[in-house]
Amino acid sequence: MPDRTDLIYAYDGSFEGLMCCVFESYTQKEIPSVIRPPGVQQSLFDTEKWIESDKHKADRVFNSIPVKISPSAQELVKLGFLTCAPHKELLIYHFLRLGFNYGNKVMTMLTDATVCSLQKAVRYLTSESHKFKGFARFSVYGEVLVAVIEPNNFVLPLIAMHFCDRFRSEEFMIYDKTHGMALIYQSQKAELMFVEELTLPEVDGTEAEYRRLWRQFCKTIAIEGRNNPRCRMALMPKRYWGQLTECIVRSSIK
């Protein structure tokens, strides 16, 4: 494939669209230097090539991954798309090129910068999703439980099953403020939806009392002599504190 350093692919930001970028690269025998999602500013001298999403083309690429590489590579690519890795599209594209050349061996090529970066990004994604299974704090608004989270990675698809199983008989929403997405669960059905902005009403007296009791509980069980700020920061990084009920008004946490 000819490597044109000025070739830029632009796509609609969907996983399907990214798979179509891979399809276009192979059918046209060209290698893009950039794969640009929506919202990224174009420079004056850029010449973009728009790649239209096509389910048939996307399925051909995605379904070829477990056959030509491995099922674990397919899962890695799918998770890689949910990460916050810089230029993740190009990272996934180059990983697939390596995989189509080397087969399943690519999964153990950890000295390769592309493979190492993608696997590191996915580990960060899965680690962060695990944290939010414990860090999400729900409040009651009428008949609905609502939680607001601010993850770096797009973790909603990974934590959806956990909360749907945990609150099977409830109606709830988890709003991802970072990505403008919400997981909405009602009538035992879950759906991911775009929500550009969410303005919640003031909580009622009952919810305010629950919050006070939760903060009092956390304060009561704390053992002052075993306070370890470094350990706390390692297990609960400060960037999560903004949406944690027990941290919002505790002036003792610095």
E strands, the chain, are 8-10, 34-36, 48-50, 138-141, 144-149, 172-176, 181-186, 189-194
Confidence of residue 248 (pLDDT cuts 50, 70, 90): low
Write out the two tokens for 57.
């083309």
Instruction: Supply the mean pLDDT for the chain.
Output: 91
Instruction: Give just the sign of the alpha carbon dihedral 145, 151, 157, 160.
Output: negative
Amino acid letter for position 182: A
- pLDDT for residue 251 is more than 50: no
Task: Give domain limits for the chain.
Answer: 8-126, 136-201, 204-254
Contact between 51 and 58 under an 8 Å Cβ cutoff? The reply is no
- pLDDT in the model for residue 232: 80
pLDDT digits (tens, 9 = 90+) for 230-239: 888 888 888 8
State the average pLDDT over residues 7-14: 94
- pLDDT for residue 97 is more than 90: yes
- pLDDT for residue 76 is more than 80: yes
Confidence of residue 253 (pLDDT cuts 50, 70, 90): very low
Helix (H, G, I), strand (E, B) or coil at 144: strand
Name which of 148, 251, 142, 133 is nearest 207 in CA terms: 142
CA separation for the pair 119, 248 (Å, rounded): 34
- Give me the phi and psi of 175, to 5 degrees please: -100, 120
